[in-house]
């Protein structure tokens, strides 16, 4: 029965999962907030051109992985495969170019039709930041530092490595592109069909190829560093100096590239060896040409995104929710009082779960099952004296407490 199972590449997030996801999301948000970032929420679907135009019509995401559909009005819409394009679209739609810099945090689900594997789903969740309007290398230092602080706050400081590279400016990339094409042309017959097509349109994408034959060819390809001009070398040197000033360790990975033309200068990833082949947990870089490519004014940008599912696999146990108080009514006539007491206690800040049923034995078993720290029992005899029985579920001791003083007594045992 199709209705009794999940769609391939999706999963249900049960309470333990959502508690861990919320912990990671809130850690990212709090870290971003302390750096002056405000949260932006964009729709989970956009006009298809928002992504096709920015991700490139030769990318795997556009050609193979996007969930695209035509709505009843005939518009082509796409579930967002990533959120940088959506943030930039919102930046332009809401005329924010006059209010620079823009520091933005986001979170939410993304969608890609790809082969599900460990830590990678067709519906997945990300947190990310974008810093628009600052061309200074220190902007890259800021977003990398923010990422490092966030990952440290969820206990991953000793399990991650910062890998860094530079894509250079447009002049450097153009020079490198020609060297790369010259090299790849000599191996054209051995390239995969996808890479032969990209050789004509966007050769840098071949560096990201997952095909094993392509990878073997790329291993001996020229490196971008050899094509950098002085301005590009100075830019990455300032980024590295800033990271060193903050004692953030990093290593250069010359094969760390982005194939899209609007990317430039700094590109980076935080990786781990604890997830097997899926080692990247957070990735980002500078994209000074994106806003202009989407029809806006020239506006520098830099940022990163992190996948929550992978981070959840790395995180240890997170603090559980506060142990509740079990509110137990021993009969229908006591339910009204018990409901009012539960509301009073919740308004005082307690977590209270209401029991259903009349048998004290069954309700006490239920209280144990939910991990209650206390049980507040309201029966006919208690109501006649305007008291409730409060039982310590760990010690087994119990006492009668005046209904008027119940909040004060429970606060003492919190």
DSSP 330-356: SSHHHHHHHHHHHHHHHHTT--EEE--
Which of 314, 345, 369 is a domain's end point?
314
Q: What pLDDT score does 15 carry? A: 87
- Assign residue 342 the CATH number of its domain: 3.40.50.800
The whole-number pLDDT of residue 259 equals 67
Does residue 40 form part of some domain?
yes
pLDDT attached to residue 237: 97
Give me the CATH number covering residue 237. 3.30.930.10
What is the per-residue pLDDT for 341? Answer: 92
Distance separating alpha carbons of residues 410 and 414, to the nearest angstrom: 6
Looking at the fold, whether 243 and 164 belong to one and the same domain comes out as yes
**Tokens 């929710």 belong to residue:** 321
> Among 308, 246, 332, 295, which Cα is nearest to 27's?
308
Residue 377: predicted pLDDT = 94
Final residue in a domain of this structure, among 285, 314, 343: 314
In a domain, 42, yes or no: yes
Q: What is the pTM of this model?
A: 0.87
Residue 38 pLDDT: 97
Q: For residue 302, what pLDDT is reported?
A: 97
Pair (57, 13) in one structural domain: yes
Identify whether residues 344 and 236 lie together within a single domain: no
User: What pLDDT score was predicted for residue 258?
Assistant: 78
- The three-class DSSP label of residue 372 is coil
Residue 132 forms part of a structural domain: yes
- Residue 179: inside a domain, yes or no? no
Residue 62, pLDDT score: 64
Please tell me whether residues 275 and 393 are part of one structural domain.
no
Q: Do the domain assignments include residue 353? A: yes
Q: How many domains does the chain have?
A: 2
| 286, 300 Cβ separation under 8 angstroms | yes
Domain that holds residue 146: 2-169+229-314
Q: Is residue 399, in this structure, part of any structural domain at all?
A: yes
Query: What does the pLDDT look like over 372-408, one tens digit per residue?
Result: 999 999 999 988 999 999 999 999 999 999 999 998 8
Say yes or no: 261 and 406 in one domain. Answer: no
The answer to whether residue 194 is domain-embedded is no
Q: Are residues 160 and 125 in the same domain?
A: yes
240 and 330 share a domain? Answer: no
DSSP SS3 for 357: coil
pLDDT for 356 equals 86
**Per-10-residue mean pLDDT, the chain, length 414:** 77 90 96 97 95 69 81 94 95 94 97 78 95 97 97 93 94 89 90 86 80 89 90 97 96 83 90 79 94 93 96 82 89 90 92 86 92 93 92 92 90 76
8 Å CB contact between 410 and 399: no
Task: Let me know whether 297 and 399 are in one domain.
Answer: no
């Amino acid at each position: 029965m199709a209705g009794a199972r999940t769609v391939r590449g999706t999963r249900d997030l049960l309470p333990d999962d959502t508690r861990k996801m919320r912990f990671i999301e809130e850690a990212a948000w709090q870290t971003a907030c302390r750096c002056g970032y405000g949260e932006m929420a964009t729709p989970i679907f956009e006009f298809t051109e928002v992504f096709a135009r920015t991700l490139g019509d030769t990318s795997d995401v556009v050609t193979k992985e996007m969930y695209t559909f035509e709505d009843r009005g005939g518009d082509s819409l796409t579930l967002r495969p990533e959120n940088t394009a959506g943030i930039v679209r919102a930046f332009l739609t809401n005329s924010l170019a006059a209010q620079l810099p823009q520091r933005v945090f986001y979170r939410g689900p993304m969608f890609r039709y790809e082969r599900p594997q460990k830590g990678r789903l067709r519906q997945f969740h990300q947190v990310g930041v974008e810093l628009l309007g600052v061309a200074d290398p220190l902007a890259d230092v800021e977003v990398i530092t923010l990422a490092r602080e966030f990952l440290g706050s969820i206990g991953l400081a000793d399990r991650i490595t910062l890998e860094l590279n530079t894509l250079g400016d447009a002049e450097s990339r153009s020079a490198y592109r020609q060297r790369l094409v010259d090299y790849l042309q000599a191996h054209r017959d051995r390239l995969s069909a996808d890479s032969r097509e990209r050789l004509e349109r966007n050769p840098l994408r071949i560096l990201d190829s997952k095909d094993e034959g392509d990878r073997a060819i790329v291993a001996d390809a020229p490196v971008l560093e050899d094509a950098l001009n002085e301005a590009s070398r100075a830019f990455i040197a300032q980024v590295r100096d800033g990271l060193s000033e903050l004692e953030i360790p990093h290593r250069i990975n010359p094969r760390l590239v982005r194939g899209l033309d609007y990317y430039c200068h700094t590109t980076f990833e935080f990786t781990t060896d604890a997830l097997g082949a899926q080692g990247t947990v957070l990735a980002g870089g500078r994209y000074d040409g994106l806003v202009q490519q989407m029809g806006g004014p020239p506006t520098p940008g830099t940022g990163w995104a992190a996948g929550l599912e992978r981070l959840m696999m790395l995180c240890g146990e997170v603090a559980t929710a506060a142990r509740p108080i079990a509110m137990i009514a021993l009969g229908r006539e006591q339910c009204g009082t018990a409901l009012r007491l539960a509301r009073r206690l919740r308004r005082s800040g307690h977590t209270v779960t209401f029991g259903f049923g009349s048998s004290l034995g069954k309700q006490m078993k239920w209280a144990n099952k939910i991990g209650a720290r206390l049980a507040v029992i309201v029966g006919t005899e208690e109501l006649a004296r305007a008291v409730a029985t409060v039982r310590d579920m760990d010690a087994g001791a119990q006492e009668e407490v005046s209904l008027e003083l119940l909040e004060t007594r429970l606060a003492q045992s919190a």
